Amino acid sequence: MKYLFYLTKVEGLGSVRIKRLLERFGGAEMVFNASVKEMSQVENISEKTAEAIISAGSNLNELEQQYDELIQKTEKLKIGIVSLIDDDYPDLLKRIYDPPIIFYTRGKYNNDLLVNSVGIVGTRKPTDYGKKMAEMFSRELSSLGIAVISGFARGVDTISHKAVLGNAASKAITAAVFGCGVDNIYPPENKKLYDEMIERGLLISEYEISAIPDAINFPKRNRIISGLSLGTIVIESDVDGGALITSRTALDQSREVFAVPGYVTSRQSRGTNALIKNGHAKLIENTDDVLDEIKNKLQNINISVNGKSGLEPKIILELKGNEKAIYDAFLRQSEPLHIDSISEISGLNISDSLVSLLNLEFKGVVDQLPGKRFKIK
């Protein structure tokens, strides 16, 4: 943890580059023992950046003092620290392109509580319809044991958190991803909700303790909301709303995006309707629509909604030969697969794989996504 913290203090070294250095050298401490030449061989690590790392390594006393002060603060405020190399780092978040190297927590942090999660985001000024939708999805998902992830902002975010905390039948937590330090209450009117989240929910931030809620932080934190989630629901957003940033990060991460349709005359629904119209999100009317897309990715959970065993994995007994090989390939993964990966995992050539995938599409077993990617239904 300590040397990872040191790396985050090197100017110009973001999460993607740190991740590549860790993969190349096997650990943060080993990075500081590497030469400029060795580090420069890592993708996107220039000699200037390598020299900055060497320079930081020659002045570890100052960094160690900063680290010790951080640890004292976390202990005093009962704030947890989770790093990319820890066993309890969320697996879903670790898979994104730029996972936070370190993040801070307050409340009930347990990676097992986040395994089955869905993000819910939307406008800060929802209509009555939007409020009802946020409450409905949050309440029903949490009743099924699916955690609700949001951003603690005014409007849809706040409503979603409160709906989970106020749900007597809830079997899951709600987690808020902050754009400031987890000890900084923003917006300030959410003080009561903040205290409730510490007691029964979870607060997460990649920003250090006492970091202010800077405007540039919020778009960046959205990738964590979608990164922790199997899918993200957008409830009311204009075309330039922050919720659409979260939908874009979800798409970039190959996660599901859902949108609740709204009145075509409503400003709050222009963004969500555009997502649906452009094929960037699935139109959802109820929780079953969400479950239809994520059911095969849920872990250790058995749910029946309205008498429908939506979460039981599909067993296609009639599949044989190449089709069964393709289907088995999907069962080994939790993300959509590119045709090259399907071919490699199944052992079939590209041509045979495409033919079998087409047959599976006709049978309603798989869906084709843009860029020659496929997913199991």
Domains and CATH numbers, the chain: 2-73 (1.10.150.20), 111-297 (3.40.50.450), 321-376 (1.10.10.10)
**3-class secondary-structure state, position 353:** helix
326 to 142, 255, 293, 361, 375: CA distances (angstroms): 33, 21, 19, 12, 11
Give me the pLDDT at residue 83, please. 95
The mean per-residue pLDDT over the stretch 231-250 comes to: 95
pLDDT tier for residue 12 given thresholds of 50, 70 and 90: confident
Model pLDDT for residues 17-26, shown as the tens digit of each residue? 999 999 999 9
* Choice between 319 and 112, residue whose per-residue pLDDT is larger: 112
Give the C-alpha separation, 245 to 96, whole Å: 15
pLDDT of 249 strictly over 50: yes
pLDDT of 309 strictly over 80: no
pLDDT of 331 strictly over 80: no
Average pLDDT, the chain: 90
Give me the pLDDT at residue 44, please. 87
The mean per-residue pLDDT over the stretch 285-295 comes to: 93
Give me the pLDDT at residue 333, please. 66
Give me the pLDDT at residue 325, please. 86
Give me the pLDDT at residue 334, please. 58
Give the C-alpha separation, 72 to 44, whole Å: 35
Whether the CA torsion 259, 128, 143, 287 is positive or negative: it is negative
pLDDT of 253 strictly over 90: yes
Contact 161, 134 (CB under 8 A): no
Give the C-alpha separation, 290 to 148, whole Å: 13
- Residue 187 CB burial class (10 angstroms; 0-12, 13-18, ≥19): middle
Q: Closest Cα to residue 118, out of 301, 362, 369, 363?
A: 301
Enclosing H/E stretch for 213:
none
Give me the pLDDT at residue 299, please. 87
Model pLDDT for residues 163-193, shown as the tens digit of each residue? 999 999 999 999 999 999 999 999 999 999 9
Q: Closest Cα to residue 301, out of 118, 102, 145?
A: 145
